[in-house]
Amino acid sequence: MERTYIADLNTKVGESVLIKGWVSVRRDQGKMIFFDFRDMTGSVQGVVLPDSAAMDAGKEARSEYVVAVEGLVNKRPEKNVQTGKQNGGIELQIEKIEIINRAETPPFEITGDTSAIGEDVRLQYRYLDLRSERMQQNIRLRSEFVQKAREFLFKKRFTEIETPLLTESTPEGSRDFVVPSRLHPGEFYALPQSPQQYKQLLMVGGFERYFQIARAIRDEDLRADRGFEHTQIDVEMSFVEQEDVMSMIEAMLIEIAESMGRTIKQKPFPRFTYAEAMERFGADKFDLRTPEEKEAGVLAYAWIYKFPFFEKTDDGGWTFTHNPFSMPVPEHIDWVLNKENIGDILTTQYDIVCNGFEAGGGSIRSHNPDILRSVYDIMGYSKDDTEERVGHMLEAFKYGTPPHGGIALGVERNVMNLTNETYLREVQAFPMTRGGLTAVMKAPKPLTDKQLKELGIRVDVPEKKHD
């Protein structure tokens, strides 16, 4: 018999079916046994009646056993219909249970909400945690979010392009994760903090509209909503101005949210200059929802723009606030080129906030090498240092570079807003622990002597054991 997915059982009333999945719950009442079964599409109640041939296997099957179950789909009697519940109107009268694989008792209860279970044990047994209904929903919703973004961008003629993971460090403002090179001992790659430079080079390469569901890897202090790795919907467009990127992304977020049945507080999204935001909210992230709107899961998006380009460093110099590749606002280009009024220079950076969190950010880039060179000059880089850091970009910009700009939206942050979760780990399949250890597998860990030798690396820290 062909397998029927549990979500489709309500179309098979009166028919014999075969389902495959897990036992969620078994209630043995002696003469009869009730089960809840689940597969990726949902769950259904089944019953082994007193004279059923399935009685022996039914007595043996336990929670989390993997089973194939044959039975008759019956309508429940009117008084037993569970309204509002998936398959609340039907029940499977079990004729046969085949035990495909047994399961030990899971180390924690997975039939309910697992968010209160200790992080260490949840992540050690993440594959079990992922079976819980809330995790299934969150991870599926994340997939849906990304799929809808892809569909929107493909409709708008974007091309999805992957960029390298082993690369040179990009000045995104965080610490890099580095990877030693075996072929070039003593030299290191950096994992990308973002595809910033490659996506700009793709504009030089004539793709005009790029996107990527890109992993960004930053060695930052870990917080509830920030891990070493996160995923961005990374976008870059040629022949655009600030308004074009903002309206494209706004249309995308509206289409995604509304197609997922969400309500958006205000359309078009309200816009605040950085100065206005600081004056009104005291921060460049703020929550525009009323308490009732919070309750109802409304999404309150807003744009912030006209950020200062530079901020003072501790030693009295200047550094960029967001992105060194940004273009200053048109009226301040001369200030950058002449290196004057530096603290007052505004950038074309735009950030999007939603429900109090930064959901993304981007800018128009300086496609003119003189502007980029001047930005590095203002930040105190010598000609040689600038050449070393961004010489390849300055070179690329010499060969007919279109004006371009883009944005990156944080997938986790957006999914957290859609699911109302407050921890990153609730929307990533295999997040790290707070202490920076991987889920299920054990990293970081020391290399073997052979590996170290091959890489030409001598380790200068006392060996330490993780507990």
Applying CB under 6 A, the residues found at the interface with ligand ASP are 172, 194, 196, 216, 323, 361-363, 406-408
Separation of alpha carbons 302 and 249, rounded Å: 12
Specify the DSSP element, H or E, that contains 396: helix 383-396
Smaller CB separation from ligand ASP, 52 or 193: 193
As measured in angstroms, the least distance from the Cβ of 94 to ligand ASP is: 53
Which of residues 198 and 335 has its CB atom nearest to ligand ASP in the complex?
198
DSSP state of 436: S
| Choice between 126 and 322, CB closer to ligand ASP | 322
Helix (H, G, I), strand (E, B) or coil at 427: coil
Q: How far is the CB of 141 from ligand ASP (least distance, A)?
A: 23
DSSP string, 75-124: EPPGGG--TTSTTTTEEEEEEEEEEEE--PPPSS--SS--TTS-HHHHHH
Q: Which C-beta is closer to ligand ASP: that of 227 or that of 362? A: 362
CB 303 within 8 Å of CB 309: no
Residue 216 CB, shortest distance to ligand ASP, in Å, is: 6
- Spatial contact of 189 and 176, defined as CB atoms under 8 Å apart: no
Q: Residue holding tokens 């040179």?
A: 168
Query: What minimum distance in Å lies between the beta carbon of 406 and ligand ASP?
Result: 4
Contact 380, 318 (CB under 8 A): yes
What dihedral do alpha carbons 208, 378, 408, 176 form, nearest 10°?
A: 120
Q: Return the number of the residue (26 or 413) whose C-beta is nearest ligand ASP.
A: 413
CB of 408 to ligand ASP, least distance (A): 4
Residue number, nearest CB to ligand ASP? 194
φ and ψ at 178, to 5 degrees? -115, 155
Which lies closer to ligand ASP via its Cβ, residue 339 or residue 392? 392
336 membership: H or E segment, kind and range: helix 333-338
Residue (254 or 408) nearer to ligand ASP, CB:
408
Distance of closest approach, residue 59 Cβ to ligand ASP, in angstroms: 56
Task: Compute the least distance from the CB of residue 10 to ligand ASP, in Å.
Answer: 45
**Least separation in angstroms between CB 363 and ligand ASP:** 5
Q: Dihedral through CA 269, CA 270, CA 271, CA 274, nearest 10? A: -120
Q: Is 460 exposed, middle or buried (0-12, 13-18, 19+ CB in 10 A)?
A: exposed
d(CA 91, CA 74): 5
Measured from the CB of residue 173, what is the shortest distance to ligand ASP in angstroms? 9
Sign of CA dihedral 61, 64, 69, 74: positive
CB of 310 closer than 8 Å to CB of 343: yes
Find where tokens 């999945």 sit. 21
CB 396 within 8 A of CB 204: yes
Q: Which is nearer to ligand ASP, 406 or 431 (CB)?
A: 406
| Residue 42 or 362 with smaller CB distance to ligand ASP | 362
